[in-house]
Amino acid sequence: MAGKKERQRKLARERHARQAARRAQRARTVRIRAIAAGGVCAVAAIGVGAYFLAGTGGGGSPAAAHSATPSASATSSAATVSEPAHHCTYTASGTAAREVSLPSSTPNYTASYQATITTNRGPIVISLLNSKATCTVNSFVHLAQQGYFTDTKCHRLTTASIFVLQCGDPTGTGTGTGGPGYVFASENLKGASYPAGTVAMANTGQPDSNGSQFFLVYKNTPLPASYTPFGTITQGLPILTAIAKAGSDNSNGSGDGHPKENVVIDSVTIRQT
């Protein structure tokens, strides 16, 4: 009888382990989401807890998954618009996490921009893709110049299958639920890929739901072409690699959570080149 009970317990443990493994696999389904409008989670990533670029507390989050796709793919008519764009539309949505005005609807589409994200871990320099994602760059430049990103934490790090650091939420809560109070359309999606050094927008998983949250790719990452690439890191990639090496707190699941090393954006400065 004892042997039978032991076998039953063993079978129960094995069944529980299989169920846990299936839950973990589902949790690794990519759902990159960003906090575009107030109250919606950020970048959808490794789907644990709902954000790819969202996080615990309602957002998009980078999660780990090799062949997963976002539950709601963020596509946009803007993907077919001729770039550089001569006109941009920014639609008020939700409550701004930090008071800012709407960006100009007439971008400087002939300009070349360089952004320097000065963090407590060192500077990260980005060449902005103004000729390919004009309205996205116009918004990023606008927010940077208004100090929107100053003294904000990068709230999410993923280190399994998806390799990104997500930033752009000034709420300071670390949950990835803050946006600028407006949304705008996606761009530069045709043939989009996310190799190391890519800077792209997070979104809610819905079309045209970009806001302020963005992610920095520190290692080649397989993602669907649903997140507007708008910059390329030219200096500072080793900083991201070091942050990733320290790992996350796994608060959204294995390899997905807040960076163990606190990452704070001191400022974002823009230089027209």
pLDDT digit of tens for each residue in the chain (273 aa)?
Answer: 556 667 777 777 777 666 665 554 444 433 344 433 333 333 333 333 234 544 322 233 333 222 222 222 334 444 456 899 999 999 999 999 999 999 999 999 999 999 999 999 999 999 999 999 999 999 999 999 999 999 999 999 999 999 999 999 998 666 668 999 999 999 999 999 999 999 999 998 888 999 999 999 999 999 999 999 999 999 999 999 999 999 999 998 999 999 999 999 999 999 998
Nearest to 48 by CA among 33, 31, 35: 31
CATH superfamily of 2-272: Cyclophilin-like (2.40.100.10)
Are 124 and 236 in contact by the 8 Å Cβ rule? The answer is: yes
pLDDT of 8 reads 72
> Would you report the helix, strand and coil content of the chain in percent, each value rounded to 5?
20, 25, 55
Give me 159's structure tokens. 């280190």
For residue 18, report the phi and psi dihedrals to the nearest 5 degrees: -65, -40
pLDDT of 196 reads 98
CA distance 257 to 249: 5
Every domain of the chain and the residues it spans = 2-272
pLDDT of 11 reads 73
pLDDT of 87 reads 97
CA dihedral of 117, 140, 156, 123, whole degrees rounded to 10? -10
pLDDT of 67 reads 25
CA distance 64 to 252: 11
Query: Any alpha helices (H) in the chain, and if so which ranges?
Result: 2-27, 134-145, 237-246
Cα–Cα distance list, 126 to 170, 197, 198, 226 (Å): 20, 9, 9, 21
87-99: b or e for each residue (b if 16 or more CB lie within 10 Å)?
ebebeebbebbbe
Are 126 and 118 in contact by the 8 Å Cβ rule? The answer is: no
pLDDT of 47 reads 39
pLDDT of 133 reads 98
pLDDT of 2 reads 54
